[in-house]
Amino acid sequence: PSLSSPSGFLLMQKSNIFESWLHSRYISNESVQLKAENGVIRFSLDEPGDINSAKKSPKNKKIKMSRKAKLNELRFYRLKAKKKMNSPNPEVRIRYKLEKAKRKETWLIEKLRKFDVPKPPPETSDPEILTEEERHYLKRTGEKKKHYVPVGRRGVFGGVVLNMHLHWKNHETVKVICKPCKPGQVHEYAEELARLSKGIVIDIKPNNIIIFYRGKNYVQPEVMSPPNTLSKAKALEKYRYEQSLEHTSQFIEKLEKELEDYHQHLAKFKKVKEDTTKDVSFGILIFECFCLYDA
């Protein structure tokens, strides 16, 4: 049939498809290698870029443990820990508790690193200069007013700064009450709140009360809660981790002191034992001398 006819055109298309299929099926860029192992000749196909692929060692695959094997391993560790806890030797018990507490301490420190908020660089601004009379007036007005912002166990977070700005909407000063507060922590709170709220610290009372002044040219910001602060839930979570870390550190100190006392007791007991053995041996020697003298 001629190419102009439809049947001829179809035959030509089929032949082209068949030729392309043959080319892709039987023609490749792989190289044939002849290998002789233990007197047996073998052929292998390798790509040109991977001639030394046979020499490469297979990757070590991770062996998955069965559920039963995992349970047996956990049971083994539990029995090992129980054996240490019930050991008659006090040093073994103390050392086991100490290792466990130190592991917990490192874990808590890693957890607390997630709550670290990057501090922005300090802004260069002209500080407002207040006279002594103005400070005295602001201090008296701040003490008399009943409105206040509490800083509790969560510490300084975005909600505290938001409340300060809401108070400054109608009042010049705001009173911040820190409760509970560790000794010296009120100054840290004052510095942090002054940085976040751009307010001025007027006075810090002995009963952990801070009086802030909003400033003469105060303008309420659009975002009253700073973005580089923790949320209420995150602040509470951080407080719990900090409390746990504090108790763990105290427990570690207690265990270290117990271990030191135990070592001192052992050294003292050993010394007393050596002295008694010396006295006994000296007494036996004197007794033998008397016996020889009588004889």
Name the residue among 143, 151, 211 with its Cα closest to residue 178: 151
Q: What pLDDT score does 44 carry?
A: 65
Give the per-residue pLDDT at 31: 61
140-233 folds as: Translation Initiation Factor IF3 (3.30.110)
pLDDT at 145: 85
Check residue 117 and give its pLDDT.
Answer: 83
Q: What is the pLDDT of residue 58?
A: 53
Q: Are strands 173-178 and 40-46 parallel, antiparallel or unpaired?
A: unpaired
Please tell me the predicted confidence (pLDDT) of residue 293. 62
Extents of the domains making up the chain = 6-47, 84-116, 140-233
Lookup: tokens for 285: 């020697």
The pLDDT of residue 51 is 44
One-letter amino acid for residue 66 of the chain:
S
Determine the pLDDT at residue 3: 44
Record the tokens describing residue 266, joined without a space: 């052992």
Please report, for the chain, how many H helices and E strands are present, in that order: 7, 6
Cβ-based neighbour number of residue 143 at 10 Å: 14
pLDDT, residue 60, reads: 62
Which pLDDT score, from 0 to 100, does residue 96 have? 92
Q: How many residues does the chain have?
A: 295
- Retrieve residue 120's tokens: 């922005």
Beta-bridge partners for 176: 149, 210
**Residues in the chain, pLDDT under 50:** 1-4, 18, 21-26, 50-51, 53-56
Provide the pLDDT for residue 54. Answer: 45
Verdict on whether the full-model pTM lies above 0.75: no
The two beta strands, 148-151 and 173-178, are: parallel
